[in-house]
Chain A
Amino acid sequence: MTAPDAAGLRRLTRELLAAHPPATTGRTDFLKARFDAGLAWVHYPAGLGGLDAPRSLQPVVDAELAAADAPDNDPRRIGIGLGMAAPTVLAYGTDEQKRRFLRPLWVGEEVWCQLFSEPGAGSDLAALGTRAVRDGEDWVVDGQKVWTSSAHVARWAILIARTDPDVPKHRGISYFVCDMTDPGVEVRPLRQITGEAEFNEVFLTGVRIPDSHRLGPVGEGWKVAQTTLMNERVSIGGARIPREGGMIGPVARTWRERPELRTRDLHQRLLTLWVEAEVARLTGARLRQQLVAGQPGPEGSGMKLAFARLNQEISGLEVELLGDEGLLYSDWTMRRPELVDFTGRDAGYRYLRSKGNSIEGGTSEVLLNIVAERVLGLPVEPRNDKDVAWKDLSR
C-alpha cells in the first residue's frame, strides 16, 4: 500500500467524519475511530495510528477536522506521552509494546510522565543513581526522581535507571516503562516558587517492572533516552504563533488600555522587547519553513534559549508596569494543576513561573554549551567522568 498524498488524506478524513459525525459521536469513540483510520499521526506506521505519510501532511488532516469541529485529544494534557514517550516506543518498542501503549496514549485514556531527573542528577542526567536490579523475569527498582509533571495523574512513566554501576555512567543505564499504579511508587507534590505543585517527587521502593516493559537493550538506555530528549527539544518552540502571541501580548494590551501606567523608561524597554519577541517569532517561522523544505537547521536548539530569556524579561517588565497592582499576587494556595501553565493567571505568576523556562528541559547554560560545541564546533569542555566507573565517581 502506498502512502496517501494530501488529496488522499483529505478524502480519508472526510470519510471518517461521515462515518463518525462529531456532533453525535462521543469524544473518546471519535478519537479511537480516528486512530484506527490512521489519521492520528499520519507519519506513524499503518495499524499504529498512521499511514506512513509525510509528517508535513498532518496539517491537512488537522485543518479538515478543525473545520468540522471534531474533538481533539487535548495535546497539552498528554504532551509528555505524545512528544516523548510515543516516539521512543515507536523507535525502540517491540510490536507488542507498540500495540499496547500507543492507542490509549494518543486517545488520552492513559497519561504519561517522565522519570528522568533526580535530586542529584539534573543537568548531569547520566549521573543518575536510581537502581534497577534483575530478579528473574522482573527488575526491582529503588530510587528517587524529581520534577515529574503529571505524575499524580499518570498511568505510565518512561523511566531510566542504573543497571550496571561498574561501567562509566553513560553505559550502565537501561530504559523502562513503569506502571505508576504499582506498589512501591509514591508520588509527593513538590511545591514551587509560584505556590503551586505542578511537579512531583516520585519515590520508587522495591518497584517490580517486568522485563517485557524494557525499551531497547540492557545497558543502552542512554541511547534510547537521546531519542526522547531530541523529541522533547523539537516540541519546544515548534508551535506557530501569531504576532503578539506570546508573553508580549498581555503587556502590549495593558500598555494600550492603561495610559496612566506609561513611563518613558518602560516605553523604551517595552519597544526593545516587542522587537525581540517579533524577531523570535520570525525565527521560529523560518525554522518551520526549513523543516517543511527538508533543510532542518540547528536553529531549534536556540529557540528555547531565546524564549526563556524573553519570557523572563517581558514578565519582569509587566510586573513593574502594573505598579501597585504588581505588588499583589492572585493566590498562594497550593494547587496541583494537571497542566503546565506558562502564561495563565496574573503577571506575578508569569514572572515567577518564567524563571523555570531557563532550567526545565535543559538549562540555558547547558544548551549554550551544546550550541557552542555541536553547532559552532568549538572544543569540548575537558571531562573527567568518561572512563570512570559510575560507582567510583564523586557524589
Chain B
Amino acid sequence: MTARTEESQPPDLLYSQAEEDLRAAVRSLLDDRCDVPEVIARTESDAPYDPQLWKALATGIGAAGLLVPEKLGGQGAGHREAAVVIEELGRSVVPAPYLTSSVVATETLLALGTQDGPAAELLTELATGRKVAVLAVPFSAAGPDTVAVTAALDGTLGPVADAVAADVLLVPTTDGLYAVEAGTAGVVVEPLIALDLTRPLATVTLTGASGTRLADAGTARAAVRRGLLAGAGLLASEQLGLAEWCLTETVRYTRERHQFNRPVGSFQSLKHRMAHLWLEVVSARAAARNAADALATGSPETPLAVAVAQAYCSRVAVHAAEECVQLHGGIGMTWEHPAHLYLKRAKADSIAYGSAGRHRETVAELMELPAP
C-alpha cells in the first residue's frame, strides 16, 4: 500500500490483480469449508464459529493481519485488501469474527501508535490469528460517545458483537482504554438471542474487573473513533458482497423456476426489479470501493466517503435480501433455504456501526446541509 499524498489524486475504484488473487483464494477456501447447511447447522449449535475455518482464513491466507504492519507480524497490506476479504465473507454470510477483531479491534489498537508494549503484542497476536479481540461497545455504536463504562471497569455493555468468541475485550472507559482478558474474575459474557444468527451478540458485565491500561482517555477516544470508522467503512463491502449474492442467486432461480409455462424470470415485472437491483449493486460497489480506498490512503475525505457508503449500502443490502426472499416465493420463507440468513444479516448490518439515518446526519454536518 502506498499512501497518496496529493489531494487531487482521484480514488482508485477498481480492484488490482493482487486483490483479485486474494479474492480467489478466500472464495476457494469458503467454497470448500463453509457451505450453507454447515452455516445453518452452526447457527443452531453453541459454537457458531468454526475454529478450523478461522485458522485457515486468519493464518493460512493471512487475512487477519492485512491491516497490521509486517514488523508487528502482519501482512502490511491495507483496507482495500481487507475490503475484498469482507466482500467474500459477506457473500457467504460466513460466521467469523473478522470485521470485529481483524478490523475494528485491530484498527483501534493501531490508532494508539505504539511500536512495543502490550498493545503492540496484542496486535501481533491478532494479526497471526492466535487471539480474537473485540471492542466492547454496542454493535450499533457509530462513535465514541457511547462509552458507558466507569473508570473502575464496572458496568454492563451490549449488545457486543462477537464477544463470545473474544479472548480479549478492549474496554473504553472514562479513564482510558483497557485490555481485559475474557474468562478472568469480574468478567461475565452472556450470550443474547440475536436476529442475525451468523454474528453472535452478548452482554458484557464487568464487576471490578482488572485489565491492562493501553491508553489515556483522550487517546482512547480518538482510537475508538478510528476503529468504528474503519468498521463502518468496511461494513459497506460486507453489504456489497451480501447484496451481490442475493441478486445472483435470485437471477439464477428465476431463470430456472417455471410457472404459467414460462421461466418466471421472463416476466417483465420481475425482470425490472432485478435490473433495478443490479443498478443498486453496481452503485454500492463504487461507494464501498471509495470508502475502502479513502481508508487505505488516509484521505481527508474518509469520514464523508464512509458516511456516504454506509448511508447507501445499508439500504441496498436490505433491499437485495428482501427481494431475494420475495422472488423465491414460498421457498424464500423456509429455514432450509439460505435467503433468511442473508436477510437477517442485512437487517442487522443496517444498524451496525450506525444506521443509515445516523450516517446521513454526518453527511449533513460535513457538507453543511444543516437541519431546520
Q: Mark A residues whose CB is within 8 Å of B.
A: 252, 255-256, 259, 262-264, 267-268, 270-272, 274-276, 278-280, 282-283, 285-286, 289-290, 293, 295, 297, 299, 302, 305-306, 365, 368-369, 371-373, 375-382
Contacts and interface: CB of A to CB of B under 8 A. Distances in A.
Given A275-B308, A378-B271, A378-B274, A289 B12 contact: yes
B275 A306 contact: no
B372 interface: yes
A249 B108 CA distance: 37
A373 B263 CA distance: 13
Across chains A and B, which 7 residue pairs bring their CB atoms closest together, nearest first? Answer: A372-B271, A262-B372, A379-B266, A286-B13, A371-B275, A282-B286, A283-B286
A275 B360 contact: yes
Contacts of A378: 251, 254-255, 265-266, 271, 274
A272 B287 contact: no
Given A267-B371, A279-B308, A373-B271, 6 more contacts: A256-B369, A262-B372, A264-B371, A270-B369, A282-B308, A377-B255
Interface in B226-282: 251, 254-255, 262-263, 265-266, 268, 271-272, 274-276, 278-279, 282
Residue among B284, B286, B312 having the largest count of chain A Cβ atoms under 10 Å: B286
A393 B283 CA distance: 40
B308 A285 contact: no
A91 to B, nearest CB: 28
Given A264-B372, A275-B363, A368-B272, A379 B251 contact: no
B311 interface: yes
B286 A376 contact: no
A377 B271 CA distance: 10
Contacts of A368: 271-272, 275-276
A265 B275 CA distance: 29
B368 interface: yes
25 contacts: A252-B369, A255-B369, A256-B368, A262-B371, A262-B372, A264-B372, A267-B364, A271-B311, A275-B311, A275-B312, A279-B284, A283-B282, A283-B287, A285-B13, A368-B275, A369-B271, A369-B272, A371-B278, A371-B279, A372-B271, A372-B274, A376-B271, A378-B255, A379-B263, A382-B266
Given A299-B282, A377-B251, A372 B287 contact: no
Residue among B262, B279, B361, B364 having the largest count of chain A Cβ atoms under 10 Å: B279
B10 interface: yes
Interface in B41-63: none
A304 to B, nearest CB: 10
Given A371-B278, A378-B254, A279 B312 contact: yes
A378 B271 CA distance: 7
A382 B263 CA distance: 11
B13 A274 contact: no
Given A271-B364, A279-B312, A375 B278 contact: yes
A27 B275 CA distance: 46
A213 B154 CA distance: 87
A252 B367 contact: yes
B287 A282 contact: yes
Nearest to B12: A289
A279 B279 CA distance: 11
Interface string B5-18: 00000111110000
Nearest to B291: A282
Contact of B275 (A259, A280, A285, A372): A372
Interface residues of B, number: 41
Contacts of B372: 259, 262-264, 267
Contact of A271 (B274, B283, B363): B363
B290 interface: yes
B71 to A, nearest CB: 33
A84 to B, nearest CB: 24
A259 to B, nearest CB: 7
A276 B316 CA distance: 11
A41 to B, nearest CB: 24
Contacts of A377: 251, 255
Contacts of A286: 13-14, 285-286, 289
Contacts of B308: 275, 278-279, 282
B364 to A, nearest CB: 6
B251 A376 contact: yes
Contacts of B369: 252, 255-256, 267, 270-271, 274
A134 to B, nearest CB: 39
B312 A381 contact: no
A290 B364 CA distance: 31
B330 to A, nearest CB: 21
A262 B368 CA distance: 13
Contacts of A279: 283-284, 286-287, 308, 312
Contacts of A272: 311, 360
B334 to A, nearest CB: 24
B13 A376 contact: no
Given A278-B308, A375-B278, A285 B10 contact: yes
A45 B77 CA distance: 44
Nearest to B285: A286
Contacts of A297: 282
A306 B364 CA distance: 22
A289 B14 contact: yes
Contacts of A252: 367, 369
A186 B14 CA distance: 50
Contacts of A299: 282
A283 B283 contact: yes
Nearest to B265: A378
Contacts of B265: 378-379
A270 to B, nearest CB: 6
A256 B371 CA distance: 10
A358 B275 CA distance: 15
A305 B279 contact: yes
A260 to B, nearest CB: 9
A382 B265 CA distance: 12
A290 B14 contact: yes
Contacts of B289: 286
Residue among A278, A299, A306, A381 having the largest count of chain B Cβ atoms under 10 Å: A278
A376 B278 contact: yes
A309 to B, nearest CB: 9
B289 to A, nearest CB: 7
B266 to A, nearest CB: 4
Given A252-B369, A368-B276, A379 B255 contact: yes
A382 B267 CA distance: 9
A285 B286 contact: yes
A305 B282 CA distance: 12
Contacts of B11: 282, 285
Interface in B301-340: 308, 311-312
A295 to B, nearest CB: 8
Contacts of A274: 363, 367, 369
